[in-house]
Amino acid sequence: MLWHGHFKSEINMLRELILATIIFAAAFLLLFNTKLPARWKYLVLQTVTGGLLIWLLAVAWVAFSGLLAPAAGPKPVHATLEQTRVLSLLQLMHKHPRATFYVAPAGQPQTFEVKGEVADRNTNLTVIVTAYIDAADMAAMLALTNVQVGLVHPSKARTAISTVGYLTAYGAFIIGLVCLMVYVQSSAATGFRSRVFQKPDVRLANVAGIEEAKAEAMEVVQFLKNSKKLRALGGQLPRGILFVGSPGTGKTMLAKAIAAEANASFFNMSGSDFVELYAGVGARRVRKLFKKAMRHRPALIFIDEIDAIGGKRNDSQHEEHRQTINALLVAMDGFKDKTGIVVIGATNRVDDLDPALLRPGRFDRKVYLAKPDTSGRLAILKVHAKGKPIVAPEASLLALAISTFGMTGADLANLLNEAAITAVIRGVSEISTSELTYARDKVMYGRSRTMVENLTERRIIARHEAGHAVIHFTCKHLPPLYQVSILPRNQSLGSNMLLPKEDAHIQSKELLMEQLCMLMGGRAAESLCFDTITNGAAGDMSVARDITNAMVCEWGMGTEMYYEPKQPAAEAEINRILKEVLSRAIELLRERSTGVERIEQALLEREMLTGEEVRLLLEPQSPQHGQLPEAGAEKIALAA
C-alpha cells in the first residue's frame, strides 16, 4: 500500500509535467507567430527552456529519492532485552512465530545480537526488540524456525539504500545543472537571432563620407549578384575582405549596406562572441556559423573586432584561443568561390592580426576607411540631418563640416543628436546655430562645469591661459584661435581652443615648434608673474614631451637620426628642444607683458573670450586696441 502511494504521487507529477510541456509548446508556437522582436523571442525561449530542464531535474530528484526512501508506517517503539532476560525473549519468540528475528555477532567475544520486530495488536505499535546473548544460548535460538543467522536487519538495509538514493539524486541534480550551464553556453553560439541573422535595410545611399570604400563595396555587390558571369570569365569571388579604420568610420554600416544591396543574408557577430572559457566552444561556434551561412546563400558573414579571435598566435595563449583561430582558418579555406559566401572582418588593429589570416585566399582585399574630409563630413551631416528642423541647413551644415576636422561619422551623428537635445532643453522648436555650436564644443572639448575657486587660483588660471593666447598671437603656422576660457572642461581648469578652417594632414617642423612654444606659454606666464611654478602645466608638459619625442625618434626632426628609442643622445636632444621652446616662450611674454595683463583681466571679468576679442586686445593697429565691446552678445559662432 505504501509503494502504491509512492507510485501514485509520481504519476501525478508526471501528469503535471506533461501538461506543462504541452502548455509551453503552445506558448512557443504563439510566440514565434507574433511580430515581437527576435531578441525577445530568443530570450523567452532560453529562459523557459532552462526552467523546463530544471523542473524536469527536480521531478526526477523527488521521484528517485522518494522511491528509495524507507516506507512510512507506525512509529516504532524500541525495547532492549539484556542478557538476564533471555528467557523472556524465548517466550516472545514462541508467542510470535511469524515474526523473524536476526542473529549476528555483536563485536565482543562469545556475544551475539538478536533483533526483531513484533507487532502489538493492542496498541497498534511495532516493537523493535534487541537482545544480547552468549554462545551457550545460541543453541536454543537456532532451534527456533523464525531465527536467521548472519543477516543485516531490514531497517539498516533500508537506511543504507535511502542514503545511497539521496546521494545519487543529489549527484544527478548537480550533474544536470552543470549540463544545463554547458547547454546555455553552447546554445549562444550564434548569439541573438536579431543580431546574428539579419536582412538589413541600410543601403549604400545611407552611407556617406567614405566614397573610396563605397566603390570597393559596389564591386563586392556586383560579385554577389553576378557570380555566374564572373565565373564564366574565369574570375573568382573574393573569400574575405578586411575593413580597417578608426572606430566610428562606418565599417558595420558599410557591411550591412553591401548585404542589403546584394539581397544577401547578413550574419553579424563580434570577435568576442567566439571567446569563451571552455576549450572547443569558440571553434564550435565558428563551424556552426559557417554551416548556417551555407544554408542561406548568398550570405555575408561580418565579424566585427576580428582581432579578438584573429590575433597572432603564441605559446602563452589559452588553448581555447588557438582552437578558435584554427577553426576560422580552416573554415575560410573550406568553401569555394561558387558557394556565394563572403567574409568581412573589421578591425582598427590590423598589425595584431595573425599573418595566416591575412594571406590571399582568406582575406583577399583590405579596404581602409579613413576619417572623412570636409566634403565627406558635409555629406554625413546631410544624411543624419534628415528629419531635423535646422535653421538655414545648407550654410549651417557647411560651416559645421569645416569646423569639425578629425571627427568620424559616429561623432557627427552624436553631435546632431546633442544639438537636438539642447534645443529641447532650451525650449525652442528649431535647431539654430547656437545649438549646433554648443553641441560641437561639448563633443570636441567637453562640457563646461562649475568649480569653486578662490581668487588666487582664478588669477593663476587666467594668467596661464593668457600666456597661451599671447604666444599663439605671435605664431604664423598654427590654426586660428577659437576661444580662450577659464571655465573648467573635463579635467582641465582652463582651455585655449584652436579651430582649423581646413583639413591638414602634414605637419611641418616649424608648426610643431610653434605648438611646443604655445604649450610652454602657460608655465612661462606663471613663472614670470608669480615667481613660482604650479602643477597646472602638467597636461601641457606631457603633450610637449610626446610631441618632442616623436620629432626626434620617429620623424627625424632632430640634429641627428636616432633609430633606437631612449638612447642617451636622443634624450639629450629632447631636453634641449624643450629648454629652447621654454626660453623662447619666456622671451615672447616679457616683450608682451601688457597684452598678457589685458587678457588676464578680461578673462577674470568675462571667463571666456573669442579669438576675435583676443585679437582686439593684442593688435596695435586695431581701432579698439585694448578695449572690448560690452558683454552680452553671442560670443560663440561657427567658423565661417
Distance of CA 102 to the CA centre of its chain: 69
Name the helix (H) or strand (E) containing 624: none
Query: Is the Cβ–Cβ distance between 41 and 193 less than 8 Å?
Result: yes
The residues that bridge with 269 in the sheet, in sequence order, are: 303
H or E element in which residue 504 lies: none
Percent of the chain as helix, strand, coil, to the nearest 5: 55, 15, 30
User: Phi first, then psi: what are they for 408, rounded to 5°?
Assistant: -95, 175
Q: Which of 216, 261, 465, 514 is catalytic?
A: 465
CA end-to-end distance (rounded Å), the chain = 96
465 tagged catalytic: yes
Rounded to a whole number of angstroms, the CA Rg of the chain reads 42
Whole-number Å distance between alpha carbons of 352 and 244:
12
Nearest CA to 393 out of 435, 438, 443, 442 is that of 435
CB 610 within 8 A of CB 482: yes
**Cell, residue 210:** 567614405
Question: What span, in angstroms and rounded, lies between the C-alpha atoms of 127 and 119?
Answer: 6
How many angstroms separate the Cα of 429 from the Cα of each of 381, 388, 434, 576?
20, 10, 13, 57
- C-alpha 146/C-alpha 80 separation (Å) is 19
Q: CB of 232 within 8 A of CB of 348?
A: no
| Residues facing residue 131 across a β-bridge | 81, 114
Distance CA 13, CA 60 (A): 10
Task: Say how far apart CA 211 and CA 209 lie, in whole Å.
Answer: 6
Here the cell at position 384 is 543624419
DSSP state of 72: P
Phi-psi region of 626 (alpha: psi -120 to 50; beta: other; left: phi over 0): left
Owner of C-alpha cell 572606430: 247
Q: Which residues touch 41 (CB under 8 Å, ≥6 apart)? A: 31, 32, 193
Task: Check: CB of residue 495 under 8 Å from CB of residue 483.
Answer: yes
Residues shown for the chain: 640
Cα separation, 640 vs 501, in Å, equals: 8
Pairing of strands 125-134, 111-120: antiparallel
Write down the H helix ranges in 363-508: 374-384, 393-402, 409-426, 433-445, 455-474
Q: What are phi and psi of 283, to 5 degrees?
A: -65, -40
**CB-count exposure of residue 347 (10 Å: 0-12, 13-18, 19+):** buried
Cα-based torsion angle of the residue sequence 470, 471, 474, 476 in order, rounded to the nearest 10 degrees: -130
Catalytic residues: 465
